Amino acid sequence: MESKGISPFTLDTTLVDKQPKKRACSRATRTSISRKTFDLKEQCEIKDRPYIKDLYYTLCKSKRLVVVVGAGISVQAGIPDFRSSDGVFNTVKRSFNLKGSGQSMFDSSVYRDAGSTSMFHSMVNTLHSISSTSLATKFHHMLSKISTEKRLLRLYTQNVDCLELSLTGLSTAVPLPPKGPWPKTIQLHGGLKTMVCAKCGWMGPFDPSVFEQTGSSECIECRELDDVRAVVGKRKQGIGRLRPRIVLYNEFNPDGEAIGSVTAADLRSRPDALLVVGTSLKVPGVRRIVKEMAEAVHLTGGQVIWMNEEEPPAIKMLENSFDLVLKGDCQNIPDLIAQYQEHLQDEKSRRPKKRPKSEKNADGLQQLQHITTSSAQFAPKIEANNLSNMFKVTKKAASVPQSPAKPMKIGFNDKDDNSDNSDEHKPVNVYLKTEDR
């Protein structure tokens, strides 16, 4: 179900037919291609924005779009990002008086002692509470629309807020199936909608009461199994603890293998555009996905667009990965596209209307009739004339091949119609006789 509050974003894919000129090129030839960087905040008329055609084409015409997103796309929904000064890492550091970085609260070591586990659970409950009361943003809606048009190959998200899951086009599966078909959304770091037993792997909807200080995170499945074993005189196996199904630093990703398979399948599917949005690409695994996807997209002649407040990381691995860098808030993109659509619509309505084909055919017929009639009028004249005149005409007619004949196009097509190479409407070459000139 689409979440309420934001009107569904619409894309009109009929307004632009031609892709801005680009050529497929290999990795080797791309080294000389320069990246174009623009600031989304710069104010000027929509039609004068130098990136707008490329952006419009990528969003409205690509058929196998891959999108990689990070926390930046959810900030407008009220969910803090991780790395900015007001981000989760700094807030956690202040709230818990941590000596090191707040990032340590997202390390697998939080489960080593009761104190850090309790802090981690409290932070997770806060994040879950914000996420479950927030709505998908305009940008999420735009991606969902592209997906329902069957042009989204995949959305890879690093976010655990699950905002996209409220939209019809962006569903996921937990756990990810090891083999396809895979869902549209791939959660690279899990999600806050699910909790899991660290021992038996039981999964269920996230229950905040489990992670409260007074709550018990004991797994009911494990307990029941142990009770049954006790009844039949078997040794107890112990009870696992429930935890949010999100991936922490330095720990095994339960979906890792499936993510590898879906990425490989997407690379084989020849993605034709890539958007990297709202992420600083600090996670090495995600950087690799972006690098490989960008190479695959460039092989098809497609475009790779970076959208973020910051520039892409200046690392060798990502050199030449991005063709277009749009600095600013990605939430402006749906509005820019809508404005450009309006502009195109305006332009289209001002253009002289193309005449319907039937009208053109009628014109062609008239021309043909006119010529036939003229010849018909010409013929009786010949008959009426005396023999010498006849001879004169014949002689002139016989001389036609020697004179540089001027070809005249007669067909059912007007000059401005580009469809005249179809066999059906092939123009007929008619050589005018000298007397017709």
- The contact set with Zn ion (CB under 5 A) reads 197, 199-200, 202, 219, 221-222, 240
Q: In terms of CB distance, is 220 or 408 closer to Zn ion?
A: 220
| Residues tagged active-site | 189
What is d(CA 437, CA 432) in angstroms, rounded to the nearest whole number? 7
- Cβ 240 to Zn ion shortest distance, Å: 4
- Cβ 120 to Zn ion shortest distance, Å: 19
Q: In terms of CB distance, is 199 or 425 closer to Zn ion?
A: 199
280, 83 contact by CB (below 8 A): yes
- Cβ 242 to Zn ion shortest distance, Å: 8
- Cβ 195 to Zn ion shortest distance, Å: 11
Q: In terms of CB distance, is 241 or 433 closer to Zn ion?
A: 241
Q: How many helices (H) and strands (E) does the chain have?
A: 10, 12
Q: In terms of CB distance, is 224 or 346 closer to Zn ion?
A: 224
> Token pair of 85, please?
């000064």
What is d(CA 156, CA 263) in angstroms, rounded to the nearest whole number? 9
Q: In terms of CB distance, is 190 or 278 closer to Zn ion?
A: 190
What is d(CA 341, CA 409) in angstroms, rounded to the nearest whole number? 38
Q: In terms of CB distance, is 102 or 240 closer to Zn ion?
A: 240
Cβ-count burial 217-228 (b if 16+ within 10 Å, e if not): bebebbeebbee
What are the residues facing 241 on neighbouring strands?
A: 218
List all residues 6 or more positions away from 98 whose beta carbon is below 8 Å from its beta carbon: 92, 104, 105
- Cβ 199 to Zn ion shortest distance, Å: 5
List all residues 6 or more positions away from 25 whose beta carbon is below 8 Å from its beta carbon: 33, 298, 301
- Cβ 234 to Zn ion shortest distance, Å: 17
What is d(CA 292, CA 277) in angstroms, rounded to the nearest whole number? 16
222, 231 contact by CB (below 8 A): no
- SS3 (DSSP) at 145: helix
